Amino acid sequence: MAIDEHFIQELIEGEDPFAVVWQQMRRIYAVEDFPHDLRAFMDEREEQLNGLERAVYDGFFEAYDQLLEAAQAQDAGHVLSLFDHCSFVVIADSLSVREAALLERRWVGGGWEAHMEGFAVAPFPPTTESLSRLLLGTRGPALGRNRPEFDYCYVAGPEHIPHMPSAGPLLVWMRLPDTTLEEVTLAQTRTVADAFDPTVETLERLMAAAGREEALLTSDHGYLYARSPAHYWRMPLKVEEVARSTFPRASRFQEAGHERARGLRDHESPHREQRFFAFTRTHVAVRGRYWWGTTSPNERCTAHGGLSFVECLVPILKLRRKTSG
């Protein structure tokens, strides 16, 4: 996808640079018909998405500082505010702009329909634990309970749909597609299609069991998809070696107090426009799409927790039961 000067100008001069980036991200993954080969489709579109974030980084690197500031300031309000518009809210763990755009086309001709309503900025670092602490007061969504603002249900997969109240504010947190994305490796014994299909199935079963006409669907965070070097930015070798030893496998963040994390500042670029990491009082994360890869067939193709737009901007979709006629 070609990035022209108009995009960079709009990014710099526009009122909301995040909205400018989001629209470009959405256009990259928009399709007229659902792709027959989802793996090939994502490989090709992810290369474009990588190029988009590179253009933002090179053309207006301050956007990443703004993103960090917004993500740090985020609380649970972006989820709670959805109840002002719909009494049924669903969080799909790791749902990104990719799945959101594809879901709009996947349900064409079926019993449900999905329409993109907008996006939100995920809390920093963009992880399940960050939003769970803010929204549920727990370390993870499996530990969540009913709260004064809403009834709560946790869904592990399509075979674990609980009984749900038919009226009143209801929040459902489903662990897909995150748990299936974790199984996508370079060996490709499981692919992105294997992650997407059970997510759609779970949503369909969830909507049917809830007995409600519509829901608002959002996410706790997105993720970096890196099946090839065309999907990420390479670090200088010495910096990469230090980063590999600092960040846990498939994780793009670390607690600031961690011994190895403290040493990252010694390897940071002295130039603001060339920084590899994002530092806060509590955490350090990989900035942009800097990452690394291996040839190991067991290497995961996804990671999250870093400061990239595809990880920090999460979709908001309206799901609705189609009416006859």
Domain boundaries, the chain: 1-227+301-325, 229-300
Q: Is the pLDDT of residue 296 over 70?
A: yes
pLDDT digits 0-9 by tens, 139-159:
999 999 999 999 999 999 999
On the question of pLDDT at 263 being above 90, the answer is no
Residue 324's pLDDT is what? 60
What are 122's two structure tokens? Answer: 């995920």
Q: pLDDT at residue 217 above 60?
A: yes
The yes-or-no verdict on residue 315 having pLDDT over 60 is yes
pLDDT at 3 over 80: no
Can you give the pLDDT at residue 164?
A: 96
N-terminal to C-terminal alpha carbon distance within the chain: 38
pLDDT tens profile 83-122 = 999 999 999 999 999 999 999 999 876 789 999 999 999 9
Q: What pLDDT is stored for residue 248 in this prediction?
A: 87
pLDDT of 4: 66
Q: Is the pLDDT of residue 261 over 80?
A: yes
Residue, of 3 and 283, whose pLDDT is higher: 283
The full DSSP string for 9-22 is: HHHHHSS-HHHHHH
- Residue 273 scores a pLDDT above 80: no
Confidence check: pLDDT of 323 > 80: no
CA distances from residue 187 to 41, 191, 227, 299 in whole angstroms, order as listed: 18, 9, 10, 8
Average pLDDT of the residues in 225-247: 94
Strands 283-286 and 302-303: unpaired
How far is Cα 325 from Cα 105, in angstroms, rounded to an integer? 20
* Beta strands 88-92; 302-303: pairing state: unpaired
Residue 270: the pLDDT is 85
Phi (first) and psi of residue 247, to 5 degrees: -95, 135
Query: Tell me, what's the pLDDT at 274?
Result: 83
Q: Which string of DSSP letters, residue by residue, matches 146-163?
A: -BTTBEEEEE-STT-PPP
pLDDT exceeds 60 at position 171: yes
**Residue 81: per-residue pLDDT:** 98
Distances (CA, A) of 231 to 127, 190, 253, 315, 317: 21, 19, 19, 21, 26
How confident is the model over 267-289, as a mean pLDDT? 92
pLDDT at 262: 83
* CA torsion angle 304 306 307 309 (round to 10): -20
Whole-number Cα distances in Å, 131 to 94, 141, 214 = 12, 9, 23
Nearest Cα to 222, choosing from 48, 101, 80?
Answer: 101
What is the model's pTM?
A: 0.95
For position 2, what pLDDT does the model report?
A: 53
Amino acid 27: pLDDT: 94
What share of the chain in percent tops pLDDT 70? 98
